[in-house]
Structure 1
Amino acid sequence: MLVSPPLKTLRETADLRHLRQIVAGLDEGVILIDPDETLLWANDAALAMHGVARLEELGRTVDEYRARFQLRYRNNHRLEADDYPIERVVAGDSFSEVVVEVTVAGEEHPRWVHQVRSLVLNDSDEGAPSCVVLVVQDVTARFEAEDRFEQSFNANPAPAVICRLADLRYVKVNQGFLEMTGHLREQVLCKTVYDIDVLREGEKRELAKERLAEGRTIPQMEAELELPGGGAKLVIVAGQPIDMGGEPCMLFTFADLEPRRKAEAALRHSEERFTRTFQMAPVPMAIGARDGHLLCEVNDSFTALTGYGAPEIIGRSLADVRLWASDEVRADIEGAIEGGHDLRGHEARIGARDGHRIDCLVSTEAITLGGDACVLWAFQDITQRKATELELVEAIEAVMKDTSWFSRSIMDKLARLRAPQADEDGASLDDLTAREREVLALICQGKDDKSIARALGVAGNTVRNHVARIYAKIGVNRRTAAAAWARARGFESGAVAVRPREDRR
């Protein structure tokens, strides 16, 4: 019966000195393990990756290592004893890459993330393993960066998806994209770029497809995302190549343009309604730029009033077509607008195309049209009204020269029509003496100086002196003006008791 030779350890078959010299300076951590599960040696990198300075602190055996360091997979699943990479390598298991989180015994949170692979050294003569090697890389920084990216990607309100370039399948999608489109996460992650086409109707679609195939940056462009419930959403999409988990990927980010499209449509409809109303308005109107006052639109009523048609006036300023009757009027109006004021019923005279003058009330309103600051001009022709008012004033002047044949009520009404508004800073009834108010009351009754003298029982010269003082105080020089002044201030002639001189004794 043949008996197998006993298993020789590394101590019995080789000198560790040469092996240590080879691996001592490596950046990767190297742990040499004897087939009898004794930890023979570890380079400085392996010790540092476990936060220790000596091999004894790492553990003299596989059991001690397992007691001092707890390992779990990245999905928080804790490794059983037989699953530890150090256990698997001793058992002769060969593996190329295992990623584990390493926690020091007694601590709650992991300190490092290690990527581990195995290597078995066989006896050249007999083929039996003489040494097993654990090669460790500290990938903590890489996975922390990936965790930070994952957190920021998911928390970012800007919609985004990531596709793998190898097969163009989506591997990540954030909440912003799901909310914008109405897709479910599982519906996105099982699809490709062309199943959920993020480049649909893109203005540079062919260029984007070329860049995607080459793994190069995709420039911003407008596109339409088809929605699961029907319809589409206007977006700006851009692609940025990234590396994720060692695989080339493309990060697509989006800006939702649907609110802008709706706002633009609403603005367009509003401007269309305004334009229709503007053209149909019976009031003469024009629209001009606030800066420079160049006209950009006039309506038919404006053309009918001034004689200027749209082709000959649009693109020119009101000053250029000499619409204003004088430079003073133009400077006054333009100065008010440039000072940020809107006009309301400002009286001005304008010149028509045929040269005749038109009296108008001018009103303006600052508006925004097509994103530009503009002024809406409105003109009310009051030429006929002004002529009628002048004729009325002249008629009043004529009839009030002789009021003896008018009834008192008619004369009062005519006086009020002709009288100017009361001057708040001028004289008042309180400035007149009692005798002067008596004289003024008799003047308002239409009496001449002789009649007033008889009524008061005084001489004619005395009456004339009273009248002159009244004129001087209230700023008039005619009896009709004095009567109008009194009535404008509510002075009622009948309310003043006129007493002769002998009654005051």
Structure 2
Amino acid sequence: MATTLKSLRETVDLRHLRQIIAGLDEGVILVDPDQSLLWANEAALTMHGVERLEQLGTTVDDYRARFQLRYRNNHRLEADDYPIERVVAGDRFSEVVVEVTVAGEDAPRWVHQVRSLVLNDRDEDAPSCVVLVIQDVTDRYQAEDRFEQSFNANPAPAVICRLADLRFVKVNQGFVEMTGHDKGQLLCKTMYDIDVLRGAERRDLAKERLSEGRTIPQMEAELELPGGGTKLVIVAGQPIEMDDQPCMLFTFADLEPRRKAESALRHSEERFTRTFQMAPVPMAIGARDGHLLCEVNASFTALTGYGSAEIIGRSLAEVELWAHEPGRRDIEEAIESGRDLRGHEARITAKDGGRIDCLVSTEAIRLGEDACVLWAFQDITQRKATELELVEAIEAVMKDTSWFSRSIMDKLARLRAPQPDAAGAGLDDLTAREREVLALICRGLDDKSIARSLGVSGNTVRNHVARIYAKIGVNRRTAAAAWARARGFDGEATAVSHREVPA
């Protein structure tokens, strides 16, 4: 007649069995069919935070009173659902995961993965002993909880796909907000339904890596949206395990704002280019550093004769556009110092060698990442020619008219010739006699009157006048008078010495 395990507590077989079980990492609890707890190894006691079997409970009812169990979905187990109750009832199960809470506490302390084992006597079908085998999976599930919280809280859009069937098993709020997909519906779909690698630039590589469960490098792709249309993204895949199943974590970066910004910039640049090319004002675009031209419009070509192929990639100085070297330096120094020019008068040289008077304006702009300068040229050659013709006509009519308004003569002189360079000749460069002659010129006297005032011959006056013109860089009396007045010399305060003309 078979005896129960309980009656063999001190037999050699039971001692050997205890010695074998005691060394296991898994927790083992032996339960008699009469629902009394026979024995538990040290691992099982530690997994419940106790040191002796009595603290675990002497019966199944004691155990249930001391420890409250619930499933991972927070659903509390009924009495008949406790693994220890099920194993006593003869239920065989391979894996049940429960959270274990000490009575009187709110938060669970451990997560146990439990399986059952039923021991029968050789001659009887009734179980002689039932066994609970317990694994402490607290750390694993806590890590999964942390991952779950981090995954859901991460603002970066992400989904997890199970490699076995390519079904989506997790999706975070960032992906839902980016695409507009319904979270519940998405978890019922596979990558065949929603292709997260659609339009990927290296799609073949991505599919190969996915099939092998290897890392998928970052690449651009287009996600199809539920309401129609697509969204440009960067997608990358990282292999992970969830519930001991190989999966792929896909993360995304939304490139749609960048695509819209690039599209707006492209349209803006296209509008700028059309406006630039169609503008009636001659314009050019050059680099701020080095002044190399990168674009000219049709009006610039018409003005200078230089086509795009001839001038792009060269500086204005290299093509010798500027007629005067000092003027070129002044313009380039202004730009290099960060100043924009407005209506700066300069003279340029056309391709055929012709000289063109211009008003030059510049504006600092950016094209992409490059600092550039927009050049605008206004041709004033005809206007200046008309002004000179007008002055010459007035001078011809009013020549030698001493009563003509001195202020008008000064203004005409300024129109006729630009103001001399301040760095040129000064009053100190004239001799005393030349300053006397200049003073009389400023008073409106002609050569004969000056000769009588100074008591010299007309030839002597003409020689003095010629030397004055050469020194101050003018060729007309009105210009000489304007030059003198620009330096605060009007001749009124100058004493004129009289010399008699030799007999």
TM over 0.5: yes
Matches within 5 A, 1:88-127: 88-127=86-125
Residue 166 of structure 1, aligned match among 150, 154, 164: 164
Deviation at 1:302, TM superposition (A): 0.9
Matching residue of 1:9: 6
Matching residue of 1:491: none
Opposite residue 169 of structure 1, the aligned amino acid is: R
d(CA) in 2 for partners of 1:11, 1:34: 12
d(CA) in 2 for partners of 1:98, 1:134: 11
Matching residue of 2:27: 29
RMSD: 3.3
d(CA) in 1 for partners of 2:403, 2:171: 99
d(CA) in 2 for partners of 1:274, 1:107: 72
* Distance 1:17-1:371 versus aligned 2 partners, 3 A rule: same
Matches within 5 A, 1:190-205: 190-205=188-203
Q: How far does the alpha carbon of each residue in 1:284-305 deviate from its partner, in whole angstroms, 9 at most, with x for none?
A: 1111122322211111111122
d(CA) in 2 for partners of 1:402, 1:101: 119
Residue 246 of structure 2, aligned match among 242, 245, 248: 248
Matches within 5 A, 1:151-230: 151-230=149-228
Deviation at 1:44, TM superposition (A): 2.2
Deviation at 1:10, TM superposition (A): 5.2
Higher alpha-carbon deviation: 107-116 or 381-390? 381-390
Deviation at 1:402, TM superposition (A): 5.8
d(CA) in 1 for partners of 2:321, 2:63: 99
d(CA) in 2 for partners of 1:28, 1:288: 78
Opposite residue 314 of structure 2, the aligned amino acid is: R
TM-score by length of 2: 0.77
Q: How far does the alpha carbon of each residue in 1:422-441 deviate from its partner, in whole angstroms, 9 at most, with x for none?
A: xxxxxxxxxxxxxxxxxxxx
Matching residue of 2:458: none
Q: How far does the alpha carbon of each residue in 1:341-378 deviate from its partner, in whole angstroms, 9 at most, with x for none?
A: 32222222222222233222221122222443222111
Which runs of 5 or more structure 2 residues have no equivalent in the other structure?
416-442, 446-476, 489-503
Q: How far does the alpha carbon of each residue in 1:48-90 deviate from its partner, in whole angstroms, 9 at most, with x for none?
A: 2112222222222222211111100011111111211112122
Matches within 5 A, 1:405-444: none
| Counterpart contact for 1:122–1:131, Cα < 8 Å | yes
| Counterpart contact for 2:27–2:42, Cα < 8 Å | yes
* Distance 1:54-1:307 versus aligned 2 partners, 3 A rule: same
* Distance 1:359-1:290 versus aligned 2 partners, 3 A rule: same
Aligned partner of residue 55 in structure 2, secondary structure:
helix
Matches within 5 A, 1:459-470: none
d(CA) in 1 for partners of 2:199, 2:9: 73
d(CA) in 1 for partners of 2:168, 2:324: 73
Q: How far does the alpha carbon of each residue in 1:463-486 deviate from its partner, in whole angstroms, 9 at most, with x for none?
A: xxxxxxxxxxxxxx99x979x989
Opposite residue 332 of structure 1, the aligned amino acid is: D
Q: How far does the alpha carbon of each residue in 1:260-293 deviate from its partner, in whole angstroms, 9 at most, with x for none?
A: 2222222111111111111111111111122322
* Distance 1:447-1:373 versus aligned 2 partners, 3 A rule: closer
Aligned partner of residue 133 in structure 1, secondary structure:
strand
| Counterpart contact for 1:236–1:256, Cα < 8 Å | yes
Matching residue of 1:270: 268
Deviation at 1:418, TM superposition (A): 5.8
Aligned partner of residue 137 in structure 1, secondary structure:
strand
Residue 305 of structure 2, aligned match among 298, 303, 307: 307
d(CA) in 2 for partners of 1:371, 1:447: 61
Matches within 5 A, 1:119-158: 119-158=117-156
Deviation at 1:97, TM superposition (A): 0.5
d(CA) in 1 for partners of 2:257, 2:409: 64
* Distance 1:416-1:292 versus aligned 2 partners, 3 A rule: closer
Deviation at 1:404, TM superposition (A): 5.9
Aligned partner of residue 362 in structure 1, secondary structure:
strand
d(CA) in 1 for partners of 2:227, 2:68: 49
d(CA) in 2 for partners of 1:417, 1:67: 117
Matching residue of 1:438: none
Indicate yes or no: 2:279 matched with 1:261. no
Matches within 5 A, 1:394-413: none
Opposite residue 313 of structure 1, the aligned amino acid is: I
| Counterpart contact for 1:59–1:65, Cα < 8 Å | yes
Matching residue of 2:280: 282
d(CA) in 2 for partners of 1:57, 1:245: 32
Residue 350 of structure 2, aligned match among 340, 349, 352: 352
| Counterpart contact for 1:10–1:34, Cα < 8 Å | no
Identity of aligned residues (%): 80
Matches within 5 A, 1:41-120: 41-120=39-118
Q: How far does the alpha carbon of each residue in 1:191-210 deviate from its partner, in whole angstroms, 9 at most, with x for none?
A: 11011111222222222222
Matching residue of 1:235: 233
Matching residue of 1:471: none
Opposite residue 112 of structure 1, the aligned amino acid is: W
Which runs of 5 or more structure 1 residues have no equivalent in the other structure?
421-445, 449-476, 489-505
Matched positions, count: 431
* Distance 1:327-1:46 versus aligned 2 partners, 3 A rule: farther
| Counterpart contact for 1:13–1:130, Cα < 8 Å | no
d(CA) in 2 for partners of 1:192, 1:221: 21
Higher alpha-carbon deviation: 10-19 or 36-45? 10-19
d(CA) in 1 for partners of 2:169, 2:348: 72
TM-score by length of 1: 0.77
